[in-house]
A and B are shown apart, each in its own frame.
Chain A
Amino acid sequence: MKHILGIDASTTACSAAVLTGDTIAAWRFEAMERGQAERLNPMIGEAMDEAGIGFGDLSLVAVTTGPGAFTGLRIGLACARAISLAAGVPLAGITTFDALARAVSDDERGAMAAAGGRLLVCVEAKRRDVFVQLFDADLAPVGEAGAMDGEAARVALADGYYLLAGDGAEHLRPMLAGNPHVRFSAALAPPDARHVAAIGAARGPSPQAPRPFYIRPPDVRLPARG
């Protein structure tokens, strides 16, 4: 039986899940603004213990690569890369867009497809704007990833039918209130390691070591000293 570990620390939660075959054997999920660097390893340990497996039993570790909070992305990726280094397990990098899109129910997707709509996945960026990417009803991306605030969303979503999902979607709601062609999915939670693991299982290892998908360059500020 194949065991896949999914992990996420990319936005405002921390989670770890063990997928055994097509069943989630163990899952830990905690909402948190920060503190993922303290909680991720213990949560992985708890999930692995509950699933009754060791790191040597893993066939894959799937991790969110971003976009999201810069520090959070690095926590998940540093952890995944160290598991790979120490246990020789291959890695799969999953974007937070893919992970959030996966949380949308089949019913919602079906209704969206029937209306000829598209899915706009919105990632919490802990800033005024949110990270966004468009998907079709089969959860294939149909546009580049980017960032937009409420005003940009009002203009960009003026025509066509859209289903908004992801933990950044609420930020856009006030500016879209008057648009009858925009619906909000029930899937508005942060990324979840169960979905990360499931996508990893479907896709297999990434050809190259997963790298962070920051979208934004560093904000260069005045130098600090350590």
Chain B
Amino acid sequence: MIVLGIETSCDETAAAIVTDAREIRANKVLSQLAEHAPYGGVVPEIAARSHLDHVDRLVREALAEAGAKLSDMDAIAVTGGPGLIGGVIVGAVTAKTLAQVLGKPLINVNHLEAHALTCRLTHDVAFPYLLLLVTGGHSQLVAVEGVGRYRVMGTTIDDAVGEAFDKTAKLLGLPYPGGPAVERAAKAGDASRFALPRPLLGKPGCDFSFSGLKTAVAQTVEGLGPAPSEQDVADVAAAFQATAAEALSRRTRNALETFASAFPRARTLVVAGGVAANGAIRNELAALAGEHGFDLVAPPPALCSDNAAMVAWAGLERMKLGLTDALDFKARPRWPLGEVRAT
């Protein structure tokens, strides 16, 4: 089986072709970074316009790279949400129309589900596994029991960790997107110089909170005066990153303990989503997994940030279970993982 995937839910226009032999035949991603950078964040209308300008070209390029024709595809998969709705609609209508013209099945993929299943494309991970999903908009701990069977064990009660990275970068005068910029700056920093509050320390459960940390970073930066030195910036970045990574790891530990007693034979902790590209976070989680006799699986960074290979793969997984969708499916700006259809 071979599936075309389309992704237009945020600021990357992407098209990819993936087979059920876990082979990525093409993975085209066009970043709109430069178009949004002047605004310090993604502007929905600019994103939607750009998706329309480029999505059909990216499909053509993916087909050329794969050496395949549209008529070779067994199905068309597309992100139907959650995301910036104007962009999601461009991808959804493109995919609906391709499926309609080709007479092939259409699969409406939840963007978070696509992140959640990527480790099965890259590492053939068996169900069940514990997933830490960390993106610009989401921070969740999920027991992944099967395709469409996602038990959300913890989520953020305020901001996503990716937002905290972006905010920290903005406060420090670092470029957008904040994740990679903070990680680069932190390399030369001394994390112990500033003691930032550790979110939810000593509290049971596995929810997250990052707004207090964000505020503390703002206060710390303010205390540095109008012109912080390069070393100041590096030290704040390092302190923030270390605190965020520690918080993620500490809350994941709680989830891991609950998960391991529910699924005594499960052995895999997975981290996915754009923030999973962060090395400090990966290191913390690898240590945590090791302590509990788990393996940490993290897809390569290119498949952690938004892409269409993960959408095509999730489409394949759903199609194998007969989970296809009609041409009138509704694109959704909000679509929690717990509401993904399993039958």
Q: Knowing A38-B330, A82-B101, A86-B97 touch, does A223 contact B40 (C-beta < 8 A)?
A: yes
Q: B43 to A223, Cβ gap below 8 A?
A: yes
Residue B180, interface by CB 8 Å: no
Q: How far is the CA of A42 from the CA of B97 in the complex (A)?
A: 10
Residue B83, interface by CB 8 Å: yes
Q: A226 to B93, Cβ gap below 8 A?
A: no
Residue A39, interface by CB 8 Å: yes
Residue B60, interface by CB 8 Å: yes
Q: A39 to B328, Cβ gap below 8 A?
A: yes
Which of B55, B86, B97 makes the CB contact (< 8 A) with A70?
B86
Of all chain A residues, the one with the shortest Cβ separation from B85 is A71
Which of B49, B93, B102 makes the CB contact (< 8 A) with A75?
B93
Q: A85 to B60, Cβ gap below 8 A?
A: yes
Which of B83, B94, B111 makes the CB contact (< 8 A) with A78?
B94
Of all chain B residues, the one with the shortest Cβ separation from A48 is B100
Which of A45, A55, A79, A220 makes the CB contact (< 8 A) with B43?
A220
Q: Knowing A223-B40, A223-B42 touch, does A85 contact B56 (C-beta < 8 A)?
A: yes
Residue B9, interface by CB 8 Å: yes
Residue B154, interface by CB 8 Å: no
Residue A118, interface by CB 8 Å: no
Chain B proximity mask over A184-226: 1 for CB below 8 Å, otherwise 0: 0000000000000000000000000001101000111111111
Of all chain B residues, the one with the shortest Cβ separation from A217 is B45
Q: Taking the nearest CB of chain B, how far is it from the CB of A123, in angstroms?
A: 18
Q: How far is the CA of A78 from the CA of B45 in the complex (A)?
A: 15
Q: B327 to A70, Cβ gap below 8 A?
A: no
Residue A74, interface by CB 8 Å: yes
Q: Knowing A38-B329, A42-B328, A71-B86 touch, does A218 contact B101 (C-beta < 8 A)?
A: no
Q: How far is the CA of A85 from the CA of B96 in the complex (A)?
A: 13
Of all chain A residues, the one with the shortest Cβ separation from B104 is A86
Q: B101 to A226, Cβ gap below 8 A?
A: no
Chain A proximity mask over B36-80: 1 for CB below 8 Å, otherwise 0: 100111111110110011011001100000000010000000000
Which of A78, A87, A225, A226 makes the CB contact (< 8 A) with B90?
A78
Query: Which of chain B's residues have a CB closer than 8 A to the CB of A109?
Result: none
Query: Which of chain B's residues have a CB closer than 8 A to the CB of A39?
Result: 328
Q: B49 to A214, Cβ gap below 8 A?
A: yes
Q: Knowing A38-B330, A220-B39 touch, does A225 contact B93 (C-beta < 8 A)?
A: no
Q: How far is the CA of A44 from the CA of B327 in the complex (A)?
A: 11
Q: A86 to B39, Cβ gap below 8 A?
A: no
Q: How far is the CA of A190 from the CA of B171 in the complex (A)?
A: 48
Of all chain B residues, the one with the shortest Cβ separation from A9 is B93
Query: Which of chain B's residues have a CB closer than 8 A to the CB of A102?
Result: none
Chain B proximity mask over A86-101: 1 for CB below 8 Å, otherwise 0: 1100000000000000
Q: Knowing A223-B40, A224-B84 touch, does A37 contact B70 (C-beta < 8 A)?
A: no
Residue A172, interface by CB 8 Å: no
Residue B5, interface by CB 8 Å: no
Q: B97 to A78, Cβ gap below 8 A?
A: yes
Q: Taking the nearest CB of chain A, how far is it from the CB of B342, in angstroms?
A: 22
Q: Taking the nearest CB of chain A, how far is it from the CB of B91, in angstroms?
A: 8
Query: Which of chain B's residues have a CB closer than 8 A to the CB of A71?
Result: 48, 85-86, 89
Q: B96 to A41, Cβ gap below 8 A?
A: yes
Query: Which of chain A's residues have a CB closer than 8 A to the CB of B95?
Result: 82
Q: B48 to A44, Cβ gap below 8 A?
A: no
Q: A79 to B93, Cβ gap below 8 A?
A: yes
Q: How far is the CA of A194 from the CA of B97 in the complex (A)?
A: 20
Q: How far is the CA of A221 from the CA of B41 in the complex (A)?
A: 10
Q: B9 to A226, Cβ gap below 8 A?
A: yes
Among B124-138, those with CB < 8 Å from A are 136-137
Which of B42, B48, B87, B328 makes the CB contact (< 8 A) with A225?
B42
Query: Which of chain A's residues have a CB closer than 8 A to the CB of B39?
Result: 220, 223
Q: How far is the CA of A223 from the CA of B42 in the complex (A)?
A: 5
Residue A121, interface by CB 8 Å: no
Q: A78 to B163, Cβ gap below 8 A?
A: no
Q: A81 to B94, Cβ gap below 8 A?
A: yes
Residue B331, interface by CB 8 Å: yes
Residue B98, interface by CB 8 Å: yes
Of all chain B residues, the one with the shortest Cβ separation from A55 is B101
Q: How far is the CA of A39 from the CA of B329 in the complex (A)?
A: 9
Query: Which of chain A's residues have a CB closer than 8 A to the CB of B41?
Result: 222-225
- Find the residue from B11, B36, B39, B100 having the highest chain A CB count within 10 A: B100
Query: Which of chain A's residues have a CB closer than 8 A to the CB of B107?
Result: none
18 A-B residue pairings within 8 Å (CB atoms): A37-B93, A41-B327, A44-B100, A55-B101, A74-B49, A74-B90, A78-B94, A78-B97, A82-B94, A82-B95, A82-B98, A84-B56, A85-B56, A87-B101, A211-B53, A220-B46, A223-B43, A226-B11
Chain B residues with CB under 8 Å of chain A are: 9-11, 36, 39-46, 48-49, 52-53, 55-56, 59-60, 70, 82-87, 89-90, 92-98, 100-102, 111, 136-137, 160, 162-163, 327-331
Chain A residues with CB under 8 Å of chain B are: 37-42, 44-45, 55, 70-71, 74-75, 77-79, 81-87, 211-212, 214, 218-226
13 further interface pairs, Cβ-Cβ under 8 Å (given A74-B86, A226-B9, A226-B83)? A37-B89, A42-B327, A55-B100, A71-B86, A78-B93, A79-B94, A81-B94, A220-B43, A220-B45, A221-B44, A225-B10, A226-B10, A226-B11
